[in-house]
């Protein structure tokens, strides 16, 4: 094995660690990075046989999933790679297969974002107020697309504690020329009551509900009570495959909430919450705006690789 190959292998491991602590980028961006890492892992493989290569890619895939346990695109990426390398192939052919699948996954992510933006256009009319939160490139693309299509609207964005990535969203939308107001998260219900539409991104969607930035559940409850449309912008790469048991999300550093907190004050810092599907007005996918029932039927048609259906290895640990 060359020194260059060993160096690349170390860099890949370090990059997975960087994904694990990434608390600003959305699921689509992180999924693209994961696809690149899958390619680099395959090309830097030290495996001496196809069987060993498959085992290494399976273990590496699990490390990606554990890095961001509530981001479904990572599960779908790994699932596609594992199915693709099932067929008998030489080592070189297996590497090429991984590259093709991972590159195809990245291309599909971008295409889905375009189709979702087109689907969301039907929800956005002139003169409305739209409420959102957190940082979602899918949401940003949809709003930008609507603006370019001639729609005129304003956006209210929650700051998205504790990382405050909502500020970045507000800055991007303002740069586009979209009238944007940034508010504290606790004020979002009052704005939803006066708005005509709520749109959010998604990290994971299953029959159990929508996983997205914490605060989404409260927004959905308010929208439901006030009769305001609440939609998740969610390509199928965000769907959880039936049979996969999502990992428990990590507790994040308490210092992000209160660095000088007394030791006897317990601080819970989690980035994501779960919104029941019955609170959603619909889900905007690459196939258009669909009701929840259609998503459940779609999920039933997908297939999970056996290696991902097995009991997950390792335990999630609380960070301090």
pLDDT digits (tens, 9 = 90+) for 145-188: 999 999 999 999 999 999 999 999 999 999 999 999 999 999 99
Whole-number Å distance between alpha carbons of 152 and 175: 15
Which distant-in-sequence residues (6+ apart) come within 8 Å of 294 by Cβ?
A: none
The b/e string for 87-122 (b: 16+ C-beta within 10 A; e otherwise) is eebeeeebbebbbebbeebbebbeebbeebbbbbbe
- What is the value of pTM for the model shown? 0.87
Lowest mean pLDDT among 73-87, 188-202, 298-312: 298-312
CATH class of 3-113: mainly alpha
Which residues are the active-site residues? 203
Give the residue extent of every domain in the chain: 3-113, 115-300
Token look-up 């297969």 returns 97
Per-residue pLDDT tens digits for 201-246: 999 999 889 999 999 999 999 999 999 999 999 999 999 988 998 8
* C-alpha distances out from residue 263 to 3, 57, 162, Å: 47, 42, 20
**CATH 3.40.50.10470, applies to 115-300:** yes
Find the helix packing angle between 166-176 and 137-148, rounded to 10°.
Answer: 20
Token look-up 């195809």 returns 104
- The region that residue 305 occupies, defined by phi over 0 for left and psi between -120 and 50 for alpha, beta otherwise, is beta
Does position 97 have pLDDT exceeding 80, yes or no? yes
pLDDT value of position 2: 52
Average model confidence (pLDDT) for the chain?
91
């Amino acid at each position: 094995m060359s020194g260059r190959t060993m160096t690349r292998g170390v860099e890949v491991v370090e990059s997975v660690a960087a994904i694990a602590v990434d608390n600003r980028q959305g699921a689509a961006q992180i999924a693209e990075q994961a696809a690149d890492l899958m390619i680099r892992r395959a090309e830097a493989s030290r495996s001496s046989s196809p069987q060993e290569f498959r085992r290494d890619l399976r273990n590496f895939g699990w490390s990606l999933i554990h890095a961001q346990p509530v981001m479904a695109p990572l599960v779908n990426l790994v699932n596609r790679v594992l199915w693709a390398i099932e067929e008998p192939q030489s080592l070189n052919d297996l590497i090429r297969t991984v590259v093709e699948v991972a590159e195809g996954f990245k291309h599909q992510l971008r295409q889905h974002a375009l189709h979702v933006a087109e689907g969301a256009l039907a929800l956005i009319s002139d003169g409305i107020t739209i409420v959102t939160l957190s940082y979602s490139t899918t949401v940003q693309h949809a709003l930008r697309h609507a603006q370019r299509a001639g729609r005129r609207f304003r956006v209210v964005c929650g700051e998205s504690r504790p990382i405050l990535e909502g500020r970045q969203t507000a800055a991007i939308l303002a740069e586009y020329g979209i009238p944007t107001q940034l508010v504290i998260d606790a004020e979002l219900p009052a704005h939803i009551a006066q708005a005509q539409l709520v749109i959010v991104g998604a990290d994971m969607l299953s029959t159990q509900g929508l996983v997205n930035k914490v605060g989404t559940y409260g927004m959905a409850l308010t929208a439901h009570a006030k009769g305001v449309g609440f939609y998740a912008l969610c390509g199928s790469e965000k769907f959880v495959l039936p049979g996969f048991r999502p990992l428990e999300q990590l507790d994040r550093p308490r210092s992000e909430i209160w660095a000088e907190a007394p030791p006897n004050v317990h601080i819970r810092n989690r980035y994501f919450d779960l919104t029941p599907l019955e609170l959603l007005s619909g889900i905007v996918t690459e196939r258009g705006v669909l009701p929840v029932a259609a998503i459940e039927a779609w999920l039933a048609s997908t297939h999970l690789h056996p290696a991902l259906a097995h009991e997950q290895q390792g335990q999630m640990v609380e960070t301090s």
